[in-house]
Amino acid sequence: MRLRHFLILLLITVFFLAHPLANQAQEPSSESLDGDYVKDEILVKVKDRNTPFDNLFSRLRLRLSERLLDNFNFSGTLKERIEEKGLDKVYIVKLEQNEDVPTAITKLKQDPLVEYAEPNYIVHSSVIPNDPNFSKLWGLYNTGQTGGISGAHINAPPAWDSTHDSNIVVGIIDTGIDYNHEDLASNVWTNPGEIAGNGKDDDNNGFIDDIHGWDFANSDKDPIDDNGHGTHVAGTIGAIGNNGVGIVGVNWNVKMAALKFLNRYGSGTTANAVKAVLYANMMGFKITNNSWGGGGYTQSLYDAINAANNAGNLFVAAAGNSGNNTDSSANYPASYNLPNIISVAATDHKDNLASFSNYGGNSVDLGAPGVDIYSTVPKGSCSLCDSSGYDFLSGTSMATPHVSGVAALVWSADNGLSNLAIKDKILYSTDALSSLSGKTISGGRLNLHKALTQSYTAPTPTQVTPTPFYALNDSFEVSEWNGLWSEDNQRDWDRSRQRSIDGRYSAEVDGTTSDGALISKNIDLTGKTSAKVGFWWYIENSLDLGEYLAMDISTDNGSSWVEKARLRGNEDPENSWQNVSFNVESINQIRLRFRGKMNSSTEDADVDLVRVEAY
């Protein structure tokens, strides 16, 4: 047996520009895109489903490749959620020769038919049973047998005394699964609505013969693992227990679906990640394991994970292997500020934070074993294959499936709980570690036994002050409107360096304009009870009576507007920044609109640091 140490999930550093407590992601500037991306493709969301593509794309030297969700046959509530997020209006667009991605994105962002355009980022691969190699699984039970510290584990055996089987389906979004592996085969999900090999879409979900999942990387029905990473993840979640073979997973019996979007080299695209997440939603998988990351913020992936949250599902994600503080240097998808994400750091057999692991006191939830983790791999010839069918790997990729496995076991034992209650139960039952204090939200390492047995009561508002969620947090520092704003047809607003309250830029309206408007995208406040809208604005003393800068809100996606504030020339403070804030209650969505009215090309006004802080 060869002992190999891999730092799986070599993640791309992304500079995180928003408020660290909010962890609010923003898309990158089209002039300087973060991370690697497909060189001849972009993702485009149009505002109207009836957009005339031929005219739009020929004018911009682009060609339509496919609608992102062409194969999917959504129905019912899920279809409504997808349409609410507008993911049915996202397209994969091919560039003509000699056209580059940043230039194409810049052009598209300026087109009134387009809501956003973004790169198609490339991401990369985070009762004692009788299984003979159980002693190598220090992460499940550590007596110091590998030179570590006794008790530096998730303490599985006493938990297994009460339960070791789960009825939850876990979607493994990865390089696929070796579904023929003797220690995994009976725990691999089989689609109950599909008949193998008949060439028909029996369950009418848009995918033919999706027996064990789907291969989004190669657009076919066979999600077999040709890299090894996904199979290693699967073994930690659910290698068959007590079968006298190899190892055991956190769950002795469970069902794991292979949602392959990373190729044989461990790389995949944002577009295929979105498809995998939405497939899991469509098929009702309550948990997805996501031991991958890289690239920059994309609205399409954010919306897909948010749809999973609205469906009541958990998205467990690797924090990343760059040794960075993700409070200030984001790692997607773990860094998206969504309540259903559990971001996982890696610990070693001495309960230290792994040297390679990302961390973040406001952005990483907990630690879990992720160094020298022994698990299943394919026996063939692939990057992480081994002739024995097992090997040691390290990374937050390896820590993440410990958490997914615990979530499956805990949720199965108490299936009346919501996804967020399961997350809370896991975080409130960690073992407090000095190595994770201030480095993770929980300050602790995963403990299966406590999560299953420890009594848990959700915190009440009188006990815990709610942490604000910034549904919008924009200082106009990233790029022209950041995909968060659009202008009306007057197009009198610009990103300006003339003055700012935060950073170098602000949004400025100038020249002759009659209620020239800068309008935010629709801001989702579903599940929040209240929100605080705040911003700074500035008018020059050249504005006359009757000239102003005004601010409106809409709670019906722009069908109607209510003015909330106005800064008037010759009446209100001029040549100084003024702060405005107000509260809104009992709404599910909001849009903001700033309007300027001026009669001279020498007059201007500015807006900066716009926030919607939801509770």
Question: Over the stretch 317-345, which tens digit does the pLDDT of each residue have?
Answer: 999 999 999 988 889 999 999 999 999 99
Radius of gyration of the chain (CA): 25
- 3-state SS, residue 505: coil
Mean pLDDT of 3-28: 34
The DSSP bridge partners found for residue 437 are: 440
The Cα–Cα gap between 490 and 294 comes to 38
Contact of 132 with 246, CB cutoff 8 Å: yes
Instruction: Fold for 37-122, please state it.
Output: Alpha-Beta Plaits (3.30.70)
Cis omega before residue 132 (within 30°)? Answer: no
Contact of 57 with 84, CB cutoff 8 Å: no
Question: Tokens representing 396?
Answer: 């937050």
pLDDT class for 571, splitting at 50, 70, 90? confident
pLDDT of 28 > 60? The answer is: no
β-strand 589-598 against 548-554: which pairing, if any?
Answer: antiparallel
Query: What is the predicted pLDDT for the residue at 367?
Result: 98
Counting Cα atoms < 13 Å in the Cβ hemisphere of 564 gives 20
Structure confidence by residue, pLDDT tens digits, 353-365: 999 999 999 999 9
| Predicted model pTM | 0.70
Residue with the bigger pLDDT between 40 and 367: it is: 367
pLDDT class for 15, splitting at 50, 70, 90? very low
Question: Tokens representing 288?
Answer: 């997805």
Contact of 615 with 339, CB cutoff 8 Å: no
The Cα–Cα gap between 559 and 198 comes to 49
Per cent of the chain over pLDDT 70 is: 90
Mean pLDDT of 510-535: 89
Instruction: Fold for 134-453, please state it.
Output: Rossmann fold (3.40.50)
β-strand 469-474 against 373-376: which pairing, if any?
Answer: unpaired
Per cent of the chain over pLDDT 90 is: 60
The residues that are catalytic are 174, 229, 397
Host H or E run for residue 591: strand 589-598
Contact of 309 with 342, CB cutoff 8 Å: no
Mean pLDDT of 73-99: 85
Contact of 268 with 280, CB cutoff 8 Å: no
The DSSP bridge partners found for residue 607 are: 507, 537
The Cα–Cα gap between 142 and 421 comes to 28
The DSSP bridge partners found for residue 390 are: 376
Q: What is the mean pLDDT of the chain?
A: 87
Q: Where are the domains of the chain?
A: 37-122, 134-453, 469-614
Query: What is the predicted pLDDT for the residue at 466?
Result: 53
Query: What is the predicted pLDDT for the residue at 456?
Result: 64
Structure confidence by residue, pLDDT tens digits, 556-565: 999 999 999 9
Structure confidence by residue, pLDDT tens digits, 486-500: 999 999 999 888 888
pLDDT class for 32, splitting at 50, 70, 90? low
Which range, of 31-35, 113-117, 267-271, 453-457, averages the lowest pLDDT?
A: 31-35
pLDDT of 4 > 80? The answer is: no
CATH class of the domain comprising 469-614: mainly beta
Place of tokens 């390089």: 175
